Amino acid sequence: MTSPGRTVRIASGQGFWGDWLEAPVRQVEGGPIDYLMMDYLAEVTMSIMQKQRSRDPSRGYATDFIPLMERILPTVVERGIRITANAGGVNPRACADAVIAVARRLGLAGRIRVGIVTGDDILDRLDELMDGGHALANMDTGAPLTTVRGSVLSANAYLGAASIVEALRQGAEIVITGRVTDTGLTLGPMMHEFGWAPDDWDRLAAGTVAGHIIECGAQCSGGNCLVDWKGIPHLEDPGYPIVEARADGTFGVTKHAGTGGRISVPSITEQLVYEMGDPQHYITPDVVADFTTIQLEQAGPDRVRVKGVRGRPATAFLKVSVAYFYGYKAVGTLVYAWPEALEKARAADRILRERLARLGLAFEEVLTEFVGADATHGPLAGPPNADLPEVQLRIGVRARERAPVERFTREIAPLILNGPPSVTGFAGGRPKVEEIVAYWPALIAKSEIRARVEVVEA
Amino acid sequence: MGLKGRGAFKRSPGTKGTRRSAVPPVRRSVQLRFLAHARSGDKGDTANVGLIALRPAFYPLLEREVTAARVAEHFRGMLTGGVERFELPNLRALNFLLHGALGGGGTLSLKTDAQGKVFSTALLRMEIPVPADLDV
């Protein structure tokens, strides 16, 4: 248990898989931290990992996690930093084995314990659950999962912070999970350090808010910030955020000294409203947080204090992310140059659509955008500049079958020689046909899901 | 910096402190860009836009003038669904849910902005009436 004034520092090392590779290293080396949290799982990442595991049982986790461990494990062990990461994907055990192999190779055997959290994966139980009356209906459309059952690729319940707390309680320094809520990766350490009870709703809500603030990395510390963006210093070396958590549920958000970016009330507020639904009901497995109770104040340069957060009891459900195969899409682009750049691009679009129609190709959707004129704000951009130096014709198609999409990808290049003039920007080659894996959000009763925690020593 | 904008309403002598004359105070139109900042994201085929007052004093104005109906009108033709509004007075922010904004959203969408990341600035183009003497 900690003394009342103690601060626990939880650093965000990664906002998504694909985020800046230097960030977690800078967090570990740039100053004192107690925890490093990292998010590796977007909505449909699990389906990619299931496919990998079906081909090779030793795969199915975020392989990027391993080279990172090679870089930071000695420092992490020396400084007593703990790590929470959902890098386990659909194979947390294999991820843990790989981390342990790295630890032994670096001479750290016996000095690291890895916690493995599972129980989120319900792919093999889907039919049993549906037969038992759990429709796993789509939260947006209400359709039962049976309508896409044959195309399902992965199904995972979002576990909350409790399993992370249990792994830490059992002595794990590195906690590797499958699907958990991003906020749980931050809330778990706070619950563990301060001994918060599972029904301490206000404090759990505060930890959830802290998790939401830092779960997108630098998007709260100067990245993607509209206020005085030109004045935000040294974004070439952005400081990723650090929560300074306290037992009473208040916390600060800051970053290491000497890093770029900016932590301000505006930057934190922008992150608070990001991907926000009903702010009074921010629902997680652990608590329902009320974002209309958050009080922010600037507490010195690059430090914002957060207090006043209230929460209500958690629901009896867990969110489930199901990924299913939907179909195919492709996007082709060509650049048309001045003069009359937009007219040329529009003519090319008409010609291309006419060719596709004459081939009898059926698409679920064909979408044309003119990048440089209307691709971001559509009609709100008003009439385009008559003298555009160039414009990019961007045309995308989607279909359930592969064949029409494949043929579409071969209709872009010919326009260079047999279409309107002044066309360029094709060095990338033929566009690729992409498989669409779609996301099916559903709910499942908590009583159906049992998280498991195992701790293994390196 | 002048406190009165264009078209300021001048009181005639003798009316100081009494009720206003029958002519309403002159108002002008200002883009939200000068009153607020914003951040947008996605939830499936819905884009959310958080609109945050640039100064605390602007929040009551935003709360009064940036209604769900006006936002729906602003985005007319760009959404297949409706607009919901939530208030966060503690953060001096409004949160708008724009349903059917993202061409199916996620991996289905063919849009450049499939994840709604620049719906924020699209909303900041919207104009609202403000008191003529508002210091922006």
Q: Write out A421-443 in H/E/C secondary structure.
A: CCEECCCCCCCCCEEEEEEEEEE
Question: Which has the minimum average pLDDT: A157-161, A273-277, A384-388?
Answer: A384-388
Distance CA(A119)–CA(A446), nearest Å, equals 12
Residue in A273, A304, A319, A436 to test binding to B, most B beta-carbons within 10 Å: A273
Q: In this predicted structure, what is the pLDDT of residue A45?
A: 86
Is it true that the peptide bond before A339 is cis, omega within 30 degrees of 0? yes
| pLDDT band for position B2 (cuts 50, 70, 90) | very low
Residues A311 and A333 in one domain: no
Q: A164 and A188 in contact (C-beta within 8 Å)? A: yes
> What is the pLDDT averaged over residues A199-220?
98
Same domain, A213 and A104: yes
Which residues in chain B (41-60) have CB-CB distances under 8 A to chain A? Answer: 41-45, 48, 50, 52, 54
Spatial CA neighbour of A363 closest among A394, A393, A398: A398
Distance from the B61 Cα atom to the nearest Cα atom in chain A, whole angstroms? 18
* Confidence at residue B15, expressed as pLDDT on a 0 to 100 scale: 45
Structural domain including A13 reads: 7-120+158-315
Report if residue A127 sits inside a domain. Answer: no
**How close is the nearest chain A Cα to the Cα of B24, in Å?**
31
Is A5 within 8 Å of chain B by CB?
Answer: no
Q: Which of A212, A221, A276 to mutate to test the interface with B (most CBs of B within 10 A)?
A: A276
How many whole angstroms separate alpha carbon A43 and alpha carbon A442? 13
Average pLDDT of chain A is 96
Q: Give just the sign of the alpha carbon dihedral A337, A340, A344, A350.
A: positive
Residue B98 reports pLDDT greater than 70: yes
Report which of A33, A104, A440, A100 is spatially closest to residue A254, judged by C-alpha positions.
Answer: A33
Q: Give pLDDT, residue B21.
A: 54
Q: What is the mean pLDDT of residues A334-346?
A: 98
Q: What is the pLDDT of residues A34-44, one digit of tens each?
A: 999 999 998 77
pLDDT at B10: 47
Q: Is B59 left (phi over 0), alpha (psi -120 to 50) or beta?
A: alpha
Check if the beta carbon of residue A374 is closer than 8 Å to that of residue A381. yes
Q: Specify whether A342 is located in the same domain as A244.
A: no
> What CATH number did the domain enclosing A364 receive?
3.30.70
Helices (H), A80-154: 92-105, 126-131
What is the pTM (predicted TM-score) of this model? Answer: 0.93
What pLDDT score was predicted for residue B3? Answer: 40
Chain B positions in Cβ-Cβ contact with residue A44 (cut-off 8 Å): 106-107
Answer whether residue A301 is part of any domain: yes
- pLDDT, average across residues B56-63: 97
CB A94 within 8 A of CB A58: yes
Assess if residue A192 is contained within a domain: yes
Residue B11 pLDDT greater than 60, yes or no = no
The distance from CA A396 to its chain's CA centroid, rounded to whole angstroms, is 24
Of B43, B91, B122, the CB nearest to A272: B91
Interval A295-305 mean pLDDT = 98
- % helix / strand / coil in chain B, to the nearest 5? 20, 30, 50
Interface of A with B in 153-182 (CB under 8 A): none
Which pLDDT score, from 0 to 100, does residue A4 have?
57
Residue A385 lies in a domain: yes
* A332 close contact with B: CB closer than 8 A: no
Alpha carbon of B20: minimum distance to chain A alpha carbons (Å): 37
Of chain A, the end-to-end C-alpha distance in Å amounts to: 26
Mean of per-residue pLDDT scores for chain B: 87
Same domain, A22 and A59: yes
On whether both A291 and A371 belong to a single domain, the answer is no
Q: Chain B neighbours among A 48-107 (CB < 8 Å)?
A: none
Helix axes A201-214, A265-272, angle to 10 degrees: 100
pLDDT for residue A25: 98
Query: Which residue, among B31, B87, B119, B50, has the nearest Cα to A269 in the 3D structure?
Result: B50
Residues 6+ apart with CB under 8 A from A365: A396, A397, A398, B103, B104, B110
Evaluate if residue A229 carries a pLDDT over 60: yes
Say if residue A99 is in the same domain as residue A229: yes
ipTM at complex level: 0.95
Average pLDDT over residues A25-50: 93
pLDDT grade for A113, boundaries at 50, 70 and 90:
very high
Same domain, A377 and A239: no
Helix (H) or strand (E) holding A10: strand A7-14
Cβ of B106 and A276 within 8 Å? no
Q: Kindly state whether residue A290 falls inside one of the protein's structural domains.
A: yes
Q: Classify residue A365: in a domain, yes or no.
A: yes
pLDDT confidence of residue A194: 98
Residue A176's closest CA among A103, A235, A124?
A103
Please state, in angstroms and rounded to a whole number, the distance separating the CA atoms of residues A361 and A431. Answer: 17
Q: Do A348 and A250 fall into the same domain? A: no
Chosen domain end from A315, A347, A382: A315
Final residue belonging to a domain, choices A296, A315, A334: A315
Taking the C-alpha atoms of residue A96 and residue A74, their distance in angstroms, rounded to an integer, is 17
A367, amino acid identity: L
Three-class secondary structure of residue A239 per DSSP: coil
Q: Tell me: do A310 and A362 sit in the same domain.
A: no
Q: Which of A286, A315, A344 is the last residue of a domain?
A: A315
Are residue A332 and residue A300 in the same domain, yes or no? no
> Could you tell me if A344 lies within 8 Å of chain B, comparing CB atoms?
no
Residues A299 and A362 in one domain: no
Rounded Cα–Cα distance for residues A146 and A144 (Å): 5
- A180, pLDDT greater than 80: yes
Edge-first strand order for the sheet with A310-312 is A282-283, A288-290, A310-312
Would A299 be classed as within a structural domain? yes
Token digits of residue A223 = 């990245």
What pLDDT score was predicted for residue A238? 98
Cα–Cα distance, A26 to A38 (Å, whole number): 13
pLDDT reported for residue A288: 98
A38 and A84 together in one domain = yes
Q: Of A12-26, A79-93, B15-29, B49-63, where does mean pLDDT reach its minimum?
A: B15-29
- The amino acid that residue A264 corresponds to is S
> What pLDDT is attached to residue A345?
98
Name A74's Cβ contacts closer than 8 Å, sequence gap at least 6. Answer: A106, A108
In chain A, the number of structural domains is: 2
pLDDT band at A51 (very low <50, low <70, confident <90, very high): confident
Q: Which of B21, B100, B29, B95 is nearest to A282 (CA)?
A: B95
Q: Is the pLDDT of residue B23 over 60?
A: no
What is the topology classification, in CATH, of domain B27-129?
Alpha-Beta Plaits (3.30.70)
Rounded to whole angstroms, what are the CA distances from A340 to A237, A288, A352, A390? 41, 55, 18, 9
User: 3-state DSSP call for residue A80?
Assistant: coil
